[in-house]
Amino acid sequence: MAMPATQWKMPPLIKVYEALGAIGDGRVRIEDERRATVTSSDGSKTYEVETSADGREIASNDNASYWQGYVGYPAIAVLIARGFYRPPANVTDALAGVAWKELNRKYKNDWAKTIAEVEKEIEQGGHDPDAVRSEAEAVMSFMRALKPVRGKRSRPPSEGTAVKIR
């Protein structure tokens, strides 16, 4: 008898911001009906994500998915890229170009401080941070309703393992 599937823990809200930013940056590549790759914001890593046809079963080799047990931003970005959720373009545009790794390091993974900094940048760029937060919360509601389960577990890539795209 098959083991029951383990449900993913829900991520901190910042991971939804990062996923929306990955969409805005065009860092998600759909490879085929199951597989996709997501390049990190600094370009140093490429994460592999596999989803079932309905999006419920997700495997991702990003650090958060592997070490923390919650759905990481690459998996959320792939679900969005596959059309399971459709955020408005102004939100993904607002989050394009954010140096997530740099900010997370600067604020020692204090997500509230990182979000505050990003919201300041969004506002300076002429976007509405409240609309972005509201959309990020809507994505979280979608994720909770989806109740995604874990696919196969694989170790995260190390630095410098970005796939060169010709």
Instruction: Give tens-digit pLDDT for 59-100.
Output: 999 999 999 999 999 999 999 999 999 999 999 999 999 999
- Token pair belonging to 11: 């991520």
CB 24 within 8 Å of CB 151? no
**Hey, what's the torsion of the CAs at 141, 143, 149, 154, to 10 degrees?**
-140
Q: What is the pLDDT of residue 153?
A: 80
Q: Is the pLDDT of residue 155 over 90?
A: no
pTM for this structure? 0.91
43-66 pLDDT, tens digit per residue, is 999 999 999 999 999 999 999 999
Q: For residue 158, what pLDDT is reported? A: 78
> What is the token pair recorded at 117?
């900094």
Q: Could you give the angle at the alpha carbon of 66 between the alpha carbons of 151 and 121, nearest 5°?
A: 110
Average pLDDT, the chain: 92
> Has residue 4 got a pLDDT over 80?
no
Residue 30: phi and psi, rounded to 5, are -85, 120
Q: Identify the CA nearest to 154 among candidates 12, 49, 57.
A: 49
Query: So what's the pLDDT on residue 103?
Result: 95
- First-residue to last-residue Cα distance in the chain: 45
Please give the DSSP secondary-structure letter assigned to residue 70: B
> What's the pLDDT score for residue 161?
52
Instruction: Note the pLDDT of residue 27.
Output: 98
Cα dihedral 149, 49, 121, 165, rounded to 10, equals 180
**How is residue 37 written in tokens?**
């790759």
